[in-house]
Amino acid sequence: MNNHHVEITGWRQGLKKVSLTEALHNHAGLGLAAAKDVTDRVLAGESVKVSVQSLEAAETLSTRLESLGALSRVQADDQPHLDWQVWRQDDNGNKSIINSFASESEALAILAQYESRHHKQTYWIVRASGNKT
């Protein structure tokens, strides 16, 4: 059986922090301390993967997290590693991942597209290891 992951890539204003921790505890099988740690890491701007046993469990968890204000996506082990992320900071200071890519050149191309729109938002790329570029 393939392991599936829910990657929590960011959050929206109004995130229900306590409910997010409870959902991670109840749906991902994390202990309360581990679930709170994941919530705190997401609030700090880190992208965090949580493993679950089935695609159905991953989709259920992702849907629940989205309803609480988290940004998430489902990923299976056999999907390519998307090491480059394009991030955005909006006018209110909220940070979120726009998308992830397998190569730096793909991420840079999308970054250039967003920056060419001359919006007030700030855009940048980050390697999954956390190094801002």
pLDDT in tens, 15-45: 999 999 999 999 888 999 999 999 999 998 8
pLDDT at res. 79: 59
Residue 77: pLDDT band with limits 50, 70, 90: low
- Which positions ≥6 away from 24 have C-beta within 8 Å? 30, 34, 35, 38, 39, 50, 65
Residue 1: pLDDT band with limits 50, 70, 90: very low
| CA–CA distances in Å: residue 57 to residues 33, 119, 131 | 21, 37, 31
Please give the average per-residue pLDDT across 71-86, as a whole number: 76
pLDDT at res. 131: 46
Query: In the chain, where are the structural domains located?
Result: 4-76, 84-127
pLDDT at res. 36: 95
pLDDT in tens, 88-133: 888 888 887 777 777 888 888 888 888 888 777 888 998 875 444 4
Angle between helices 17-28 and 55-67 (to 10 degrees): 170
Measured CA to CA, the distance from residue 127 to residue 115 in angstroms comes to 19
pLDDT at res. 32: 93
Domain 4-76, CATH: 3.30.1390.10
Please give the average per-residue pLDDT across 2-8, as a whole number: 81
Please say whether the beta carbons of 84 and 40 come within 8 A: no
